[in-house]
Amino acid sequence: MELIKNLNIKLENAETRNFLADAIYPETSKKLPLVIFVHGYKGYKDWGAWNLMAEKFAEAGFFFVKFNSSHNGTTVEDPCNFGDLEAFGNNNYSKELSDLGVVIDHFVKDPHVDDQRIILIGHSRGGGISIIKTFEDERINGLITLASVDTLERFPKDEALEKWKKEGVYYVLNGRTKQEMPHYYQFYEDFEKNIHRFDVEMAAEMAKAYVLIVHGTHDESVSVKNAEHLHILNPNSELFLVENADHTFGSKEPWMEKTLPYNLNIVTERCIDFINKNMK
């Protein structure tokens, strides 16, 4: 099957700044379901095996989109490295939701897309963002979370929070790149100002979409209890636990293999089956 790959499409967001997106889909005259992948914290669209996952979705008959959120630390000129730590430090949930809205608005207009079938796939923190967006945007009728958080209130507590407020910034070491990545206090202020909007639990309960919750039982970053909690909040959802899988389902950066990691392949096939069953 011939795949069309439109890579590094520049999107403009007046509320944030320009960012890049990829669209991968089969060459066909049929209108295809739109599947949008939302990366997580310290993630980006080309990380690990996400490109192979995108191709597998496209081969299965989907219009697959992945993108770099505008303030994830990458740039339009260099989409695969954290070359703009100032932007990273100025990221917040409002900006991520705004970027996701721009992506949806842009690609629903594509002549290859069936705008009645829109599915979000969110990994880790991107799962929380996707849950909120699914609740807010009635156009979205499918939601898949991969190793998702069940709350966006993931900030320093007590004395550490006071120190952050006083100093205006705290740093987190990126274990892979060894960069000290800043987080400015505006991140927390944005959360506090929009605390009801950023209520993942409420959004999970109220979301009117088909929902699949996927999580590895050996996730070292986000406990599998998050998935079980989301499933309790939305009992109509499907819960798929992957035995012994880690936070990225076996993927890592860089991913040099030509095939998907074993567990990520299982997850991708499960996601494809879920969409086909409910929305094809």
> For residue 75, is pLDDT > 90?
yes
Q: Helices marked H in 19-124 — which ranges?
A: 50-59, 85-89, 93-107
Residue 280, classed as helix, strand or coil, is coil
> For residue 225, is pLDDT > 90?
yes
> Greatest CA separation found in the chain?
59
Q: Tell me the domain boundaries of the chain.
A: 3-154+195-279
> For residue 78, is pLDDT > 90?
yes
Q: Which residues contact 271 (CB under 8 A, 6 or more apart)?
A: 57, 121, 144, 212, 214
> For residue 122, is pLDDT > 90?
yes
- Assigned token pair, 111: 């002549």
> For residue 55, is pLDDT > 80?
yes
pLDDT score at 166: 98
Mean pLDDT of 52-71: 98
> For residue 280, is pLDDT > 80?
no
Distance CA 276, CA 3 (A): 19
Output the CA–CA distances (angstroms, integers) from residue 76 to 8, 19, 125, in the order listed. Answer: 8, 6, 22
Q: For 31-41, write each residue's pLDDT tens digit.
A: 999 999 999 99
Q: For 162-218, write each residue's pLDDT tens digit.
A: 999 999 999 999 999 999 999 999 999 999 999 999 999 999 999 999 999 999 999
Distance CA 151, CA 128 (A): 7
Residue 1 pLDDT grade (very low, low, confident, very high; cuts 50, 70, 90)? confident
Q: Which residue has the tokens 């923190």?
A: 125
- What's the mean pLDDT when you consider all of the chain? 98
Other residues' Cβ atoms within 10 Å of the Cβ of residue 267: 27
Q: Helices marked H in 147-240 — which ranges?
A: 158-167, 186-193, 200-206, 224-233
pLDDT score at 259: 98
Residue 29 pLDDT grade (very low, low, confident, very high; cuts 50, 70, 90)? very high
pLDDT score at 119: 98
**Can you name the residues that pair with 64 across neighbouring β-strands?**
24, 35
Q: For 131-172, write each residue's pLDDT tens digit.
A: 999 999 999 999 999 999 999 999 999 999 999 999 999 999
CATH tag for 3-154+195-279 (out of 3.40.50.1820, 3.40.50.2020, 3.40.50.300, 3.40.50.170): 3.40.50.1820
pLDDT score at 279: 86
Report the amino acid identity of residue 132. I
Distance CA 230, CA 244 (A): 20
Q: Can the peptide bond before residue 254 be classed as cis, meaning omega within 30 degrees of 0?
A: yes
Distance CA 255, CA 257 (A): 6
Q: For 227-276, write each residue's pLDDT tens digit.
A: 999 999 999 999 999 999 999 999 999 999 999 999 999 999 999 999 99
**Can you name the residues that pair with 4 across neighbouring β-strands?**
25
E-only strand ranges, the chain: 3-11, 19-26, 32-38, 63-67, 113-123, 142-146, 169-173, 180-184, 210-216, 238-242
